[in-house]
Amino acid sequence: MKKIAYIEIDTHAEIAGNFMQLMQDSAEFEVDYYLSEKVFKQIEKPSINSIITIPDELLGMLKVRKYDLVIIGTAHRYFNVFKKISQRYNTAIIVHNQNFGRLKKLQLFVKIFQEDLAYRLKLLLKEGLLAATHLHHQASHLLLLESSAGKEAFKPLPVLFNEFNNTNNSETLTIVIPGSVSQQRRDYAGVLQKLRHFRTEVEVVFLGKAAGPELKRIIEFVEVKPENVKLYYFTEKVEPKAFELWMQKASVLWCPLQPKSTFFSQKETYGYSKMTGNLGDAVRFGKCAVFPKDYPAHDHRFIFTEKENIEEQLILASEFRFDFQKEFSKQAVADSLHSALRSLV
């Protein structure tokens, strides 16, 4: 059997969890998972091959076994450690912010002083920040979680699969907007403005913690909202079980993404240089979703492009039946993942 080390000591625990589920019965690959304690605790069903580690111990642990491939789940810090790993092993990095990976040393250095100064100085002085660009060039493979068509520098790593297929048969249209309530990431102000004109009986769920100006705006809207609109929001972090229950109850997902995002003060564009987690939400819970008109759907028939009459579009999307199991069943995605891994070892 080929041996793989999967490293996730930063964020994206959900991706590591998906990888575990898809590889748990593999007769072709044996995978060890090197996780931070924080990531380990976030994974609902961790693999028995999970090893809790810290960056300083990682290299020594990898030496114990001979790996055919090392996958780095997130390379947003610990650049000095990952650089050494990429020099010694056949290494694949999952890229979450493509423009960040293209920054040169001088550009990275300048961005240190643009915000989060103390944290970014720590990355510079203790974690080898300026090695970030070299790390991406040095890695044997760069991976994307969605289609890599037209992007020759990247290879696909399919890990998004359908887990739930509950159909909401309620007469009330339940619109769920998943994700932390941040105007910087999603246009919540635009959502509230559009809801003022809805005529359908709907319940709208802001499925993420709301705070600051966003919370103030929501509270003000509740005072003047139409009677046909019920609004649910949360002032604390939404627990995983509550998140799952609301997502299963959803008639449709509304994903009013801002066209631009930033990572390390570098602009990223959803659907082009950065994938939104809402795509994974739609696949996992088997829900059709309405995305902004400038978001590339990549031929996903379950994604609807937002039009002027958003109320009508949400209704149409909620009535559309897409067979998520046909394309995104756990077995189908596991087969695709195995095929992708064969090309990397």
Mean of the pLDDT values across residues 242-259?
96
Domain for residue 164, yes or no?
A: no
Domain for residue 167, yes or no?
A: no
CB 7 within 8 A of CB 72: yes
* Pair 110, 182 in one domain: no
Domain for residue 243, yes or no?
A: yes
When divided into structural domains, the chain yields a total of 2
* Pair 70, 154 in one domain: yes
pLDDT digits (tens, 9 = 90+) for 171-212: 899 999 999 999 999 999 999 999 999 999 999 999 999 999
Strand spans (E) along the chain: 2-8, 29-35, 50-52, 69-72, 91-94, 141-144, 155-156, 173-178, 202-209, 229-234, 252-254, 260-263, 266-269, 289-291, 303-305
* Pair 185, 247 in one domain: yes
Query: Residue 148: what pLDDT?
Result: 58
* Pair 133, 236 in one domain: no
CATH number at residue 53: 3.40.50.2000
pLDDT digits (tens, 9 = 90+) for 274-331: 999 999 999 999 999 999 998 987 679 999 999 999 999 999 999 999 999 999 999 9
Mean of the pLDDT values across residues 218-240?
97
Q: Structural domain of residue 24, as residue ranges?
A: 2-159+332-342
pLDDT digits (tens, 9 = 90+) for 44-90: 889 999 999 999 999 999 999 999 999 999 999 999 999 999 999 99
Query: Residue 198: what pLDDT?
Result: 97
Query: Does residue 150 have a pLDDT over 90?
Result: no
pTM for the complete prediction?
A: 0.94
* Pair 211, 315 in one domain: yes
* Pair 155, 186 in one domain: no
Query: Does residue 219 have a pLDDT over 70?
Result: yes
* Pair 242, 322 in one domain: yes
Query: What is the Cα–Cα distance from 50 to 6, expressed in whole angstroms?
Result: 9
Domain for residue 29, yes or no?
A: yes
* Pair 79, 141 in one domain: yes
* Pair 80, 219 in one domain: no
pLDDT bin (cut points 50, 70, 90) of residue 166 is confident
Q: Are strands 260-263 and 266-269 parallel, antiparallel or unpaired?
A: antiparallel
Coil, strand or helix at 241: helix
Domain for residue 168, yes or no?
A: no
Query: Does residue 215 have a pLDDT over 70?
Result: yes
* Pair 261, 147 in one domain: no
* Pair 314, 337 in one domain: no
* Pair 287, 338 in one domain: no
- Token duo for residue 177: 């907007």
Domain for residue 220, yes or no?
A: yes
CB 201 within 8 A of CB 177: no
pLDDT digits (tens, 9 = 90+) for 14-39: 999 999 999 999 999 999 999 999 99
Residues in the chain: 345
Domain for residue 268, yes or no?
A: yes
Domain for residue 19, yes or no?
A: yes
Alpha-carbon Rg of the chain, whole angstroms?
A: 21
